[in-house]
Structure 1
Amino acid sequence: MKYSKNILETIGNTPLVKLNKVVKDIDALVLAKVETFNPGNSAKDRMAVKLIEDAEAKGLLKPGGTIIEGTSGNTGMGLALAAIVKGYKLICVISDKQSKEKMDILRAVGSEVVVCPTNVEPEDPRSYYSVSKRLATETPNSWYVNQYDNPSNALAHYEQTGPEIWEQTEGKITHFVVGVGTGGTISGIGKYLKEKNPAIKIWGIDTYGSVFKKYHETGIFDENEIYPYITEGIGEDILPKNVDFSVINGFTKVTDKDGAVYTRKLAKEEGIFCGNSAGSAVKGLLQLKKHFSKDDVVVVLFHDHGSRYVGKMYNDDWMRERGFLEEEKMIAIDLIQDRINSPLITVKTEELVSHAIERMRLNNISQIPVTDVNGFVGSVDEGDLFRLYFDDKDIANKPIKEVMRAAFPIVKSTTSIDKISKLINRENSAVLVDLGNDKFHIITKHDVIRAIQ
């Protein structure tokens, strides 16, 4: 009989799959190393087991101990499987930008999940780096994994994934492309492949808000490069020791929107249901296409499964809120879908300025149409009220008709975004959309910007 003694023995030997439609503009053979076939549905299963086994061998992890790690979700899943089989407890510290699905899955396999804010500095005591380290010092018989700096991370891919890719391509691989987070995958695989053939090019996929690309090109760790981003699993605001820049030939950066859009394209055009970083990798491939020729064999690694992103990149509402559904929001009505059933906030000509200010505050808005018995007759903008207040401290007690501007232009629900953008300027901060049946809504500069990102 052929069977595995436990689930950990099923890790590895993932398939190499030819990509077709999504890379039709690339003049090379493009093969995807689909790591979702691992039991924990990601490439992190490989290094999770390696990390634990090496810690056991060094006496760092003792029977009945607690494993503690900061994770974006996938490493946590790999560690959870190993912890179950080997009899350890697991505490996963995760940032709040990660998908709810990842958190739910970790809890489902018995892990304790601690959620930390994303938008803090790495040294901040609230960051998931800091919280992980603190818990490791406070928890008896515990071991802090530290996948970012633990050499077993890259070693797992040097010993396993690199040889698999070499054997599956019969040594014909010319380029390897992968998203970079902790650095273990690209460094371990890249080191192995370059030892087999130094001519192989290793390309990293980075994201905007991350420091990798500039640091690789200039040696400068530029904190101005660091800002919040949506893409999961790749990019960092630190330099993990596992990132071996010497084996990487270059980086290309992919936007949050492109990463999300191409994640969905991969599912719809190739039938490969993968996570966010896979979409970024595909878009990165297309950005690098000038580096590939018809005789090249390009391998791209897909880290994790799409089931962890069904509430995000695979959810139309989530994509729409961020302006990522590029085929939508092309006309006026598309810009107001998220509030189309809410009433339009207005103010009457005889009301006081203080009434308009209060409505702006309560509804978190910056512009209000002014009406009288005949309809729309004017408009007020918070910028105008701000300037007027410093000229006249009693402005709040004056009627709106004394401070209002001209009425906002009115457009049809089918008016294009291009036409709307031309109507919004310094003198006119919004437009009104006629929805019929005496129903109107407002479109502001913010709405247009959100639609065109």
Structure 2
Amino acid sequence: MRVHESVADAIGGTPLFRLARLGAGTAARVYAKAEFLNIGGSVKDRAALAMVLAAERDGQLRPGGTIIEATSGNTGIGLAVVGRARGYRVIAGVSDRAAAEKSDILRAYGAEVVLAPTAVAKEHPEHLFNVVRRLVEEIPGAWLADQYDNPANPGAHVGTTGPEIWEQTGGRVTHFVAGIGTGGTISGTGRFLKEVSGGAVTVVGADPESSVYGGGDGSPYFVESIGHFVHPQTLDDNWPKSYHREVVDRFERIPDRESLLTTRRLAREEGLLAGPSSGTAVAAALRVARGLGPEDVVVVLLPDSGRSYLSKVFSDDWMRGWGFLEEPRTPQDTEPTVRSVLEPAADAGGWPGRLVAVESDASLAGALATLRTAPGGVAPVVLARPDRPYGFSGAEVLGSLSLAEVERAIAAGLARPGDPVDGLIGAALPTVGVGQPLSAAREVLGREHDAAVVLLDGRAVALVHRAELAESG
């Protein structure tokens, strides 16, 4: 058995596992590289070590210094593992939308956690990246790891991940599939495999359906740590320098539901408790494998552990609340669900007329026209976005407007029809998953709300009114 002098020596060397059950029926062999078996629990341990070593070598990080990074969690954890073991202070700026488990893990390793939003324009002073940059300016001896633009990030995978896959498959790998976050993993690993194979290896990017990397509209999605979200008020959308677009041959765009359910299948059918970005990558790899022959070998990278997402993708309540899960809680559960209220009006196109919303840049006059068609005269206010091929995400709901309140304000002279809606936006309407029982929907409404936004796969599909829930009870 190997003996390590430090935790840094245990980074890398992760195994490949054949996906025998999920890959059943495909002629090509599909192998998963289990990066969650790194010492810090993710593929980001590799980049963290490479970036720290490069910073020390270049004199950017000195004894007693402070490592600072903006992270969805995993890179921060890797930097905490490496940095704390080498005597550095570590501050991780974490997205307020990241799973809470990641912040808990960071604190367990001795890192300081600063939560900040990412669902605002990049130019906003409170955006995570700007908060982190201010910390670097304020703290003497601070070094920003800057995984998005640090060449040591993809370099780590040119030097380790790519060679490992080539050796583990005996040079037989034909397709490499990975998600794209900063782009370092797919760029570095893909570059090495292309070069060593003489260009024979195909590199496939697994991307959330609405991520702009693969051609989506940039609206929110529910898979953490991969993809590229763009706030509609962002003025300059710069892509990471760690992402080398020329390395990726093609994309597989995966809807959230497919990603999340594949993640759960990985644990239950293959014994691999991995995170939701692994589900995205595996779903893409299975699509790729279905078109290949017995001579092909597909390697898919599983970035992190499912232990960081127990409160999300592995929680039935969370999945049901966002509309990703619809089967009964138990075989004996026969209580009608929210879907049963909507189905009578459904046709092949969904639930026509059941979803109305006011965009945040609308005038009160425009809002009135919308509110007069809304169930109960209330509607959500959603983030204005020029193009919505996927509808709007539940994460884009900013608040609500009431027909009665708008009419009252105009009649009293407190507002004019041409005014923006900003001044009259009230609390956001509650949300309910389409597969939740009616009793749960009524509980969500409480006494203060008359309508709820119905979610299917994390996106709004309808409004349901209190009266409808009562009638169906």
Shared fold per TM-score greater than 0.5:
yes
Distance, in Å, in 2 between the alignment partners of 1:45 and 1:136 is 22
Unmatched 5+ stretches in structure 2? 230-237, 341-373, 379-399, 413-433, 443-448, 462-473
Aligned residue number for residue 257 of structure 1 = 257
SS of the residue 1:274 aligns to: coil
Alignment of 1:333 onto 2:325? no
Distance, in Å, in 2 between the alignment partners of 1:267 and 1:334 is 27
More helix by share: 1
Segment drifting more, 123-132 vs 295-304 = 123-132
Aligned residue number for residue 72 of structure 2 = 72
Q: TM-score, normalised by structure 1?
A: 0.73
Equivalent residue letter for 1:212: Y
CA RMSD of aligned residues (A): 3.4
Distance, in Å, in 2 between the alignment partners of 1:205 and 1:448 is 24
Shift of 1:444: 7.4
Shift of 1:287: 3.3
Shift of 1:118: 2.7
SS of the residue 2:69 aligns to: strand
Segment drifting more, 291-300 vs 108-117 = 291-300
Alignment of 1:99 onto 2:99? yes
Shift of 1:388: 12
Distance, in Å, in 2 between the alignment partners of 1:384 and 1:63 is 58
Task: Name the CA shift for 1:448/1:154 in 2 (closer, same or farther; >3 Å).
Answer: closer
Equivalent residue letter for 1:225: D
Alignment of 1:366 onto 2:376? yes
Distance, in Å, in 2 between the alignment partners of 1:209 and 1:72 is 18
Aligned residue number for residue 193 of structure 1 = 193
Q: Is the CA contact 2:253–2:284 (under 8 Å) kept in the aligned structure 1? A: yes
Alignment of 1:227 onto 2:227? no
SS of the residue 1:92 aligns to: strand
Aligned residue number for residue 218 of structure 1 = none
Q: TM-score, normalised by structure 2?
A: 0.70
- What per-residue deviation string (whole Å, max 9, x for no partner) do you get for residues 31-75 of structure 1? 000011110011111110110000000000011000000011111
Shift of 1:24: 2.2
Distance, in Å, in 2 between the alignment partners of 1:300 and 1:96 is 29
SS of the residue 1:260 aligns to: helix
Aligned residue number for residue 376 of structure 1 = none
Aligned residue number for residue 425 of structure 1 = none
Which runs of structure 2 are paired with 1:19-418 in the superposition (5 Å)? 19-197=19-197, 198-214=199-215, 225-237=217-229, 238-328=238-328, 333-335=336-338, 366=376
Distance, in Å, in 2 between the alignment partners of 1:55 and 1:383 is 51
Aligned residue number for residue 356 of structure 1 = none
SS of the residue 1:69 aligns to: strand
Task: Name the CA shift for 1:432/1:125 in 2 (closer, same or farther; >3 Å).
Answer: closer
Larger radius of gyration: 1
Equivalent residue letter for 2:281: A
Q: Is the CA contact 1:177–1:299 (under 8 Å) kept in the aligned structure 2? A: yes
Distance, in Å, in 2 between the alignment partners of 1:450 and 1:277 is 16
Distance, in Å, in 1 between the alignment partners of 2:457 and 2:76 is 34
Shift of 1:20: 1.6
Segment drifting more, 280-289 vs 185-194 = 280-289
Distance, in Å, in 2 between the alignment partners of 1:243 and 1:258 is 25
- What per-residue deviation string (whole Å, max 9, x for no partner) do you get for residues 53-101 of structure 1? 0000000001100000001111111100111211000010011110000
Q: Is the CA contact 2:173–2:296 (under 8 Å) kept in the aligned structure 1? A: yes
Task: Name the CA shift for 1:443/1:263 in 2 (closer, same or farther; >3 Å).
Answer: farther
Shift of 1:268: 0.6
Distance, in Å, in 2 between the alignment partners of 1:385 and 1:265 is 45
Unmatched 5+ stretches in structure 1? 215-223, 338-363, 369-381, 395-416, 419-430, 436-441
Q: Is the CA contact 1:179–1:280 (under 8 Å) kept in the aligned structure 2? A: yes
Shift of 1:443: 11
Equivalent residue letter for 2:196: K
Task: Name the CA shift for 1:450/1:24 in 2 (closer, same or farther; >3 Å).
Answer: closer
Shift of 1:292: 2.2
Distance, in Å, in 2 between the alignment partners of 1:260 and 1:54 is 36
Shift of 1:293: 2.1
Shift of 1:333: 2.1
SS of the residue 2:53 aligns to: helix
